[in-house]
A and B are shown apart, each in its own frame.
Chain A
Amino acid sequence: GAVVSQHPSRVICKSGTSVKIECRSLDFQATTMFWYRQFPKKSLMLMATSNEGSKATYEQGVEKDKFLINHASLTLSTLTVTSAHPEDSSFYICSAAPGEGRYEQYFGPGTRLTVT
């Protein structure tokens, strides 16, 4: 149980275009979803926290107009990288928390974004 999927697993896009990444909790309802960015040989950096039906809370230094997050249902959150540039190339990971006193986060397998 507690499976989280991400789609796509890999995406290559041209500079200036937008890319949408989906995060789904497959067998539980996630009141909160988190988006992380993982740099090579570095830790995961929390980008934003989203609660279903409300606006995402962004970490300091993360541009909310560039990284659009939508958490429209209890099983789906999307991250859209708008007007992507090569420096946005990274590994993006989402996680989902069931809530109701359960504080574990369940992680998706990640999405490798390459901007050319």
Chain B
Amino acid sequence: GNSVTQMEGPVTLSEEAFLTINCTYTATGYPSLFWYVQYPGEGLQLLLKATKADDKGSNKGFEATYRKETTSFHLEKGSVQVSDSAVYFCALSKAGGSQGNLIFGKGTKLSVKP
């Protein structure tokens, strides 16, 4: 079945450090891939997405590339800020993607220290 695996947290970094959060997936067909972010006390927000192989999603300095050959969608940011502290969820939509049900990873908590 479809599933998402992302690295265990928590991840603690100093400000301006490089961030990588690994995400791999198992899916039939051609899913769309997403990263969501959940700031403390708030709901999930879509951070970026990619809908086909080799697509790169980017937003707010974060990037992730849809790698079909390695079934991965790793999240990266070159220089994190304290305000990036949040929980990050990798997700895929079932084949088709249209209003597709999302399958989430377990989330990775990121703490950025000044």
What is the CA–CA distance of A49 and B99 in the complex, to the nearest angstrom?
A: 10
Select one of A41, A42, A46 contacting B102, CB under 8 A: A46
Contact between chains at A46 and B101 (CB < 8 Å): yes
Residues of A19-73 whose CB lies within 8 A of B: 31-32, 34, 41-44, 46, 49
Chain B contact residue count (CB 8 A cutoff): 23
What's the nearest-Cβ distance from chain B to residue A8, in Å?
14
Chain A contact residue count (CB 8 A cutoff): 24
Select one of A31, A97, A99, A109 contacting B41, CB under 8 A: A109
User: Interface digits, B34-68 against A, CB 8 Å rule (1 contact, 0 not)?
Assistant: 00100001111110010000000000000000000
Binding site for A on B (CB under 8 A): 4, 32, 36, 41-46, 49, 89, 93, 97-107
Q: A43-B106, A49-B101 are in contact. List 15 more A-B contacts (CB 8 A).
A: A31-B99, A34-B101, A43-B105, A44-B89, A44-B104, A93-B44, A101-B98, A103-B93, A103-B98, A103-B99, A104-B46, A107-B36, A107-B43, A107-B45, A110-B43
Binding site for B on A (CB under 8 A): 4, 6, 31-32, 34, 41-44, 46, 49, 93, 95, 97, 99, 101, 103-110
